[in-house]
């Protein structure tokens, strides 16, 4: 019996098993999902499963077949696990510094934060993205990227020169008057495809600030597409949730970062056991990730895969395995609830949302996974 024949047999086992009722089908579907979560395959358990299926469906294979069976299963599982991250967009946290200190901020942006990209680092990331070949766009964010205007401008220009689409996310502090905003934005006219402005009651005293209005008027004059990002107050429970990149509209607050400490008391809490999935990020096929000034590549803010300054992006994407990652593996298996259960973490009975439970669990796990739950800036640790 050849390896190809064994692989065909394994696939046939799954197909035939589906005909033996819902209970048997559910069992066979659980097993392949369960095996990859083991740090090391337990071949004793795997052997019993294979013997059960073979005896039930195919008779009893000879002992000579078992090595081929194990090799076939290993190959099938490996191909299933290594899904290869297909990145379309990179969001660069140009700096953790911000002139504001908003209560909802994912990254704890503030005037006292540290960590800013150099132009050399940006060029390295641009080159890595070009070598990868799948990245289409770059977004420049913060913190507040306009605080480092020369680096922001040069980075955008070089990204466009390399063929990438570009966008910027800003709080528009610089748009004190329309004409001033025109001068700030003029070098980006015909260069960026998107300008997203944050304006809500966390940033200003009114939802649509005068700065946002000035920036909008200036962008219209210059032909720059502009959208306004607004985050609802905790009491506004009807606000829609956002998945992935925040859209140019009002969305509900997510209780991670500074919000996990500052806004929870205003939220409606829910029983912790209901948070059995991550509702906001596609951890298996993210499409876009954040890169911070230290090179950390974030699947979600504060969950790092590796630092881009120590490994090639092509290799990172090729070997990406979310199921074996200590944090994303748990979240994919059963959301923040599974993260708590797998590592036997203490917890409250109620949380504001899935992000809240996940963020608190990750804070408790930082000493255990110091190279993954990074950097300090994402967890509110400010250098003295």
pLDDT of amino acid 295: 97
What is the tens place of the pLDDT at every residue in 9-22? 666 555 554 444 44
What is the tens place of the pLDDT at every residue in 74-131? 444 444 444 589 999 999 999 999 999 999 999 999 999 999 999 999 999 999 999 9
Between the alpha carbon of residue 239 and those of residues 132, 146, 229, the distances in Å are 37, 29, 13
> Residue 382 — pLDDT band, cuts 50, 70, 90?
confident
Q: Could you give the CA distance from residue 281 to residue 258 in angstroms, rounded to a whole number?
A: 19
Predicted model pTM: 0.77
Question: Span 122-147, mean pLDDT?
Answer: 97
Q: Could you give the CA distance from residue 135 to residue 348 in angstroms, rounded to a whole number?
A: 41
pLDDT value at 52 more than 80: no
pLDDT of amino acid 274: 97
> What is the share, in percent, of the chain residues with pLDDT greater than 90?
69
pLDDT of amino acid 183: 98
Q: Note whether 171 and 177 are within 8 A (CB).
A: no
Q: Could you give the CA distance from residue 166 to residue 75 in angstroms, rounded to a whole number?
A: 40
pLDDT of amino acid 216: 96
What is the tens place of the pLDDT at every residue in 313-366? 999 999 999 999 999 999 999 999 999 999 999 999 999 999 999 999 999 999
Mean pLDDT of the chain: 84
pLDDT of amino acid 81: 46
pLDDT of amino acid 75: 47
> Residue 23 — pLDDT band, cuts 50, 70, 90?
very low
pLDDT of amino acid 50: 56
pLDDT of amino acid 30: 47
The sign of the torsion formed by the CA atoms of 125, 130, 132, 135 equals positive
What is the tens place of the pLDDT at every residue in 211-238? 999 999 999 999 999 999 999 999 887 6
């Amino acid at each position: 019996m050849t390896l190809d024949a064994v692989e065909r047999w394994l696939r046939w086992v799954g197909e035939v098993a589906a005909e033996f009722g819902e209970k048997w089908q559910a069992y066979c579907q659980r097993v392949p999902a369960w095996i990859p979560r083991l740090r090391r395959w337990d071949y004793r358990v795997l052997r019993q499963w294979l013997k059960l299926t073979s005896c039930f469906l195919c008779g009893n294979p000879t002992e000579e077949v078992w090595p081929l069976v194990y090799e076939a299963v290993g190959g099938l599982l490996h191909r299933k696990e290594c899904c290869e991250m297909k990145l379309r967009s990179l969001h660069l946290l140009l700096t953790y510094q911000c002139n504001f200190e908003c209560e909802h901020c994912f990254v704890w942006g503030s005037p006292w934060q540290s960590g800013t990209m150099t132009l050399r680092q940006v060029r390295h990331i641009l080159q890595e993205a070009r070598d990868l070949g799948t990245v289409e766009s770059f977004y420049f964010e913060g913190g507040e990227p306009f605080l480092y205007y020369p680096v922001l401008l040069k980075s955008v220009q070089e990204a466009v020169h390399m063929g990438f689409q570009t966008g910027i996310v800003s709080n528009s502090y610089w748009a004190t008057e329309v004409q001033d905003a025109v001068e700030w934005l003029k070098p980006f006219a015909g260069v960026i495809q998107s300008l997203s402005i944050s304006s809500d009651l966390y940033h200003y005293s009114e939802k649509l600030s005068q700065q946002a209005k000035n920036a909008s008027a200036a962008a219209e004059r210059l032909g720059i597409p502009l959208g306004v990002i607004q985050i609802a107050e905790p009491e506004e429970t009807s606000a829609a949730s956002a998945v992935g990149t925040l859209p140019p509209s009002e969305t509900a607050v997510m209780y991670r970062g500074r919000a996990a400490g500052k806004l929870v008391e205003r939220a409606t809490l829910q029983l912790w056991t209901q948070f059995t999935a991550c509702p906001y990020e596609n951890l298996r096929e993210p499409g876009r990730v954040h890169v911070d000034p230290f090179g950390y590549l974030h699947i979600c803010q504060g969950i790092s895969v590796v630092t881009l300054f120590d490994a090639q992006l092509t290799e990172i994407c090729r070997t990406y395995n979310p199921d074996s990652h200590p944090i994303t593996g748990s979240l994919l298996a059963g959301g923040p609830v599974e993260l708590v259960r797998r590592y036997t973490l203490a917890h409250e009975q109620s949380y504001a949302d899935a992000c809240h439970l996940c963020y608190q669990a990750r804070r408790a796990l930082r000493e255990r996974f110091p190279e993954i739950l990074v950097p300090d800036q994402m967890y509110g640790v400010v250098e003295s």
